[in-house]
Structure 1
Amino acid sequence: MLIFLFSMVLALTVFMIFFAVIRKVILPQTSVRQRIFALDQNNAPVPGTTVVKTDGQRKIREIPFMERVVKPAGEHIADTISHMAPKQVLALIEKRLVMAGKAHECTAPQFMVIILIGALSMWFITFTFVGDGNYILIQKVVFLLLGGILGGMMPVACLNTMVQNRQAEIARQLPEVLDLLCVSVQAGLSFDAALSKITDRMKGALISECKRLQEDIRMGMVRRTAMKNLASRCDVQDVSLFMTSVIQAERLGTSMSKTLKNQADNIRERRRQYVKAEAMRAPVKIVFPLVLFIFPALFVVTLVPTLLFLMRNM
């Protein structure tokens, strides 16, 4: 009886949510679409005349369903979440999106919608498998809660993985960029000219951040602020040290070529030490695949013939 009441309350809640979305988003667009269609019928061309149709004009029937219904509904939900969610959470998500390089593809409210969709999807899958199982009510509630939490955490885990991969790419690319900067500045180019040459001929996460740095400076932002913003967007220790050294060199008036040379040697040595540390961790990391995959195969190859021989001679 309790399970039946719980299912009824759940179905009623889902129905009310969908009804509110349809009432707020889809029905106004439907009425507007009907009015536009009526006007379109009234303004139909006279037979025998030619109508020139521009590329920027499309009929309602030619607009895809995603643009007509799904996208406005998602934007409405994202706007509602942006008003309800705490500002600190939205600021943290926005920072992580910037660090992952996805700020131009997804906003913080949209990512909250993705989290909500993941939680509801996983919750529905868990309810499908657990609803008919031989579990007591408290177990079903715990399973549903764990499923919802797991579904909501999956987009966050994917975002953290993208951030880590991007930071690793920036750390790998930084020594090469510094060497090219050092060589270009020693050849007589200014720092901005050398950076422009590098960004025109290279690609990568660090190069895209350097391009944004140049765009900020061209838009009138103070160089010091733009460099600090770059270090904050990357959130890599080597990039922060490099930006701090360049800011100090410009403030104190020291030689830029010497500063870049010292930073290139320093970061190259730090990168070498990091690679050595990772190489020293390799024997420890290989223990688990060795025990799980290699040792059983060796045991089969070495012991199975002996066991078969003993079984035949017994």
Structure 2
Amino acid sequence: MFEIFNSPLGLIALTGVGGTLLLVLAVMVMMAGGRADPMKRFSEQANSKEKHSAPEAAKLRRKVGREFKSLEKYARFLEPENENELSDARQKMIRAGYLSKTAVRDFAALQFILAITGMIASLLLVFVIAPDSFDTPVMMAVALITPMIIGYFGPRRWLERRVEARKEEILSGFPDALDMMLICVEAGQSLDQSIRRVSKEIEFAYPALGEELTAVGEQVKAGRERSEVLRDMAKRCDVTDITSFVGVMVQASTYGTSITDALRVFAAEMRDKRIMRAEEKANTLPTKMTLGTMMFTVPPLLIILVGPSVIGIMSDLAGGGLATGM
């Protein structure tokens, strides 16, 4: 069972894997040892600047202690050091619906853990469980590398699909939200009140859109500028219709035009666009169904129509051959 360990290829594979594990462990130990203690740094900063009183400093220390979890010591290893890359990664996690400050770090840790788990599982499969099933070096290399690649890139693909699904959900529910918002504004409510009301009504059918509208209503209620909050929502959603809506609302507020008229025109346009998208999907159905029709309809039809004739011809040929032989 362990004959493969005696071969040169097995020794090379074990040496490479062992060296990789030792290198990863060494880097993690260096990261953990070289990074200053966050609590110690916070204590020194508080003592030098004397910005907070004793109760406030204790409260902040408790807050920081809760925030820095076990992954904080590996933050430099798990998070990009470039601010632009870190900002893009956080924005992508927000668009997927993960609003936590540690979402980027947790996602990188998940990728790392799944890749290591896949590598360990492939090593066990190749060298312990079924070593006789991998005869060639190509099969062995594929069995060793494939689980690690799937474990690392699988979560990234899943995150991209989640972002696209969330965008599709927001795009599907936005026309209905605009119609309800228009009804609320025409009934005498302000735009901020209508946004908060619509967020409660639509969160059951479209949770992602309801979450975004709820965030807008709460931030405006807390005192932030409405135009700034709407721009942040457009940046989080990354949907063209949301960006256009924000532009219309900001323009109406800047130039003092009627918000009701702007909402009425924009809501009608969004309804037309939704109908056009539905028609576009309906028009692509015949093309998509052609291949399925050819694969699952034509062969059975040919068997039904041509099968009896083929059987009859074969029977006649067999009978003729027998008569000739006699």
Indicate the residue corresponding to 2:110 in structure 1. 114
Indicate the residue corresponding to 2:135 in structure 1. 134
Distance in 1, matches of 2:18 and 2:225, equals 56
- Determine which of 261, 270, 274 is the counterpart of 1:258: 261
- The residue type paired with residue 183 of structure 1 is I
Q: Does 1:190 align with 2:193?
A: no
- The residue type paired with residue 221 of structure 1 is R
Q: Given that residues 200 and 214 in structure 2 are in contact (C-alpha distance below 8 angstroms), is that contact kept between their aligned partners in structure 1?
A: no
Indicate the residue corresponding to 1:5 in structure 2. 12
Indicate the residue corresponding to 2:157 in structure 1. 157
Distance in 2, matches of 1:88 and 1:14, equals 30
Indicate the residue corresponding to 1:93 in structure 2. 89
Distance in 2, matches of 1:86 and 1:295, equals 57
Identity between Structure 1 and Structure 2 (%): 21
Distance in 1, matches of 2:166 and 2:116, equals 29
Indicate the residue corresponding to 1:219 in structure 2. 222
Structure 1 residue runs of 5 or longer lacking an equivalent are: 26-70
Distance in 2, matches of 1:214 and 1:191, equals 10
Structure 2 residue runs of 5 or longer lacking an equivalent are: 1-7, 33-67, 319-326
State the SS of the aligned residue for 1:101.
coil
Give the drift of 1:276. 1.6
Distance in 1, matches of 2:246 and 2:234, equals 7
CA deviation profile, 1:205-251 (whole Å, cap 9, x unmatched) = 11110000111112222111100010111111111111110110001
Residues 23 and 217 (structure 1), Cα distance of their counterparts in 2 relative to 1, 3 Å cut: same
Q: Does 1:285 align with 2:292?
A: no
Distance in 1, matches of 2:298 and 2:81, equals 52
- Would you say how many aligned residue pairs link Structure 1 and Structure 2? 267
Give the drift of 1:277. 1.6
Residues 102 and 111 (structure 1), Cα distance of their counterparts in 2 relative to 1, 3 Å cut: same
Distance in 2, matches of 1:22 and 1:221, equals 44
CA deviation profile, 1:74-117 (whole Å, cap 9, x unmatched) = x2575243456544443222212111112249600110111222
Residues 92 and 24 (structure 1), Cα distance of their counterparts in 2 relative to 1, 3 Å cut: closer
Give the drift of 1:13. 4.4
- The residue type paired with residue 254 of structure 1 is T
Give the drift of 1:304. 4.1
State the SS of the aligned residue for 1:103.
coil
Indicate the residue corresponding to 2:54 in structure 1. none
Give the structure-2-normalised TM-score: 0.70
- The residue type paired with residue 167 of structure 2 is Q
Q: Given that residues 79 and 105 in structure 2 are in contact (C-alpha distance below 8 angstroms), is that contact kept between their aligned partners in structure 1?
A: no
CA deviation profile, 1:151-184 (whole Å, cap 9, x unmatched) = 3211111111111111111111011111111122
Give the drift of 1:119. 2.5
Indicate the residue corresponding to 1:273 in structure 2. 276
State the SS of the aligned residue for 1:102.
coil
- Determine which of 225, 240, 243 is the counterpart of 2:243: 240
Residues 192 and 24 (structure 1), Cα distance of their counterparts in 2 relative to 1, 3 Å cut: closer
Distance in 2, matches of 1:222 and 1:199, equals 19
Distance in 1, matches of 2:187 and 2:307, equals 68
